[in-house]
């Protein structure tokens, strides 16, 4: 077995956003539970990523990354979005929540670039 090495490194991103795109299987034991993927998680992630790129918000001074994530444990409430190191969550999101999330992202960028 290879030796595993760990290290604590500074994040290369000033804002790292995770959008839950989890999709539960139709055969799993929790198949009756909601999941973020079918509730619009992937569309929300894609639209947010496209907007950040279009607006030029991710810069060398304030790098932003948007990733898909697995379950963040809030699927029953709608799509979950988490931002680090801000430590903020947006719950009950839908693709229609994009404007509200954009305002949050702009606020974080403003704080980091003052």
Given a contact cutoff of 8 angstroms between Cβ atoms, the answer to whether 24 and 92 are in contact is no
Enter the CATH code of domain 15-23+31-113: 3.40.30.10
> What tens digit of pLDDT does each residue of 77-97 get?
889 999 999 999 999 998 899
At which residue do the structure tokens 């569309």 appear?
Answer: 43
Taking the C-alpha atoms of residue 51 and residue 57, their distance in angstroms, rounded to an integer, is 9
Given a contact cutoff of 8 angstroms between Cβ atoms, the answer to whether 53 and 31 are in contact is no
* Least confident stretch, 5-19, 24-38, 51-65: 24-38
Of all residues in the chain, the percent with pLDDT exceeding 90 is 61
The 10 Å Cβ neighbour count of residue 112 is 15
Helix (H, G, I), strand (E, B) or coil at 48: helix
Predicted pLDDT of residue 28: 59
The pair of structure tokens assigned to 35 is: 């999941």
Predicted pLDDT of residue 29: 62
């Amino acid at each position: 077995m290879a030796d595993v090495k760990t290290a604590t490194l500074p994040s290369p991103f000033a804002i790292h956003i995770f959008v839950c795109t989890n999709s539960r299987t139709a055969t799993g034991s929790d198949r009756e539970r909601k999941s973020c993927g079918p509730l619009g998680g992937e569309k929300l992630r894609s639209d947010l990523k496209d907007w950040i790129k279009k607006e030029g918000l991710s810069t060398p001074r304030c790098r932003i990354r948007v990733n898909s994530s697995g379950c963040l444990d809030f699927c029953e409430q709608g799509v979950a979005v988490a931002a680090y190191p801000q430590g903020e969550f947006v719950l009950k999101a839908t693709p229609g929540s994009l404007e509200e999330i954009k305002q949050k992202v702009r606020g974080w960028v403003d704080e980091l670039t003052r």
